[in-house]
Amino acid sequence: MNDLFGSNLVAMATPMEPDFAISQPGVAGLVDHLLATSCDGLVVGGTTGESPTLTDVEAADLVRMVAAGASGRARVIAGVGSYDTAASVRRAREAEAAGADALLLVCPYYSKPTQAGIVEHCAAVADATGLPVMLYDVPARTGTAMTAATLIELAAHPRIRAVKDAKGDLFEAMTVMARTSLAYYCGIDELNLPYLACGAAGVVSVVGNIAADRNRDLIDAVRAGDLEGAQAIQTALLPLTDAVLRTSQGAIMAKAALARLGIIPHATVRRPLLESPAADLRRLTDVLAAAA
């Protein structure tokens, strides 16, 4: 286990009531479920947690709820990134005060800053607290990639310690790992096995909301050098990964699966997301039944 972040991380969904308020019983139940299925890192208020819809107060309260439920049994990594450096600095400080163990900092989105702007943004947030920072490189969502040179430069900051890589460029990932001490985490469930085989420290998984125990088995198999066993685990996860991530949208389908399994009370998502249509739910139900 990486002492700062864990290795089997889950991008937590944010349980909500039918009126769209955050569900405290749902959060408590989901935390208990994730801890019981070998998750050692809880990523709170990230993309799967519908971060763009959370107010500052909700984001801090969510960290506080998860930290209380985790009780030191798993790292709590708070998503604090936005397109506004000042807002990200504020959220970072609020997350630290609420009990976060680390921060997840997405590349600033929409505004498409230069690489120099990305460096200044990330350094400002990292300077704002005493917490370790995991960068989140996801150009499909942000519109801008962090280049290898940017990641290498940011690695010199004493609190920037890891990368959640949802770019999918394995050669670049291996290059940065070879030239820095950054711990890499796969942020693309479809590629968990190749990233781990290339030296990633762990995963930040959406599918882990439902199957963190199987991700734990995958990580352990790779670390033990059991490639054949790891391949078998990844192959068995393919139908669930496909149903959660390639049917409509990850946050929607993760909540639908959790509700179907009785782990959270409702599959409510906030607009502009919409709950799964019946056809998607039938497919998901079939996959969950087959995996049981």
Residues recognised as catalytic: 136, 164
Other beta carbons within 10 angstroms of residue 35's beta carbon come to: 17
| Residue 78 bridge partners (DSSP) | 44, 103
- Amino acid 26 reads G
- Among 17, 13, 53, CA closest to 252: 13
CA distance 292 to 284: 12
C-alpha distance from residue 52 to each of 11, 41, 109, 170, 273 (Å): 15, 21, 11, 28, 11
CA distance 136 to 88: 13
Q: What is the Cα Rg of the chain in Å?
A: 18
CA distance 120 to 231: 40
- Among 210, 5, 3, CA closest to 105: 5
Let me know: does 136 contact 164? Beta carbons within 8 Å. Answer: yes
Q: Is 79 exposed, middle or buried (0-12, 13-18, 19+ CB in 10 A)?
A: buried
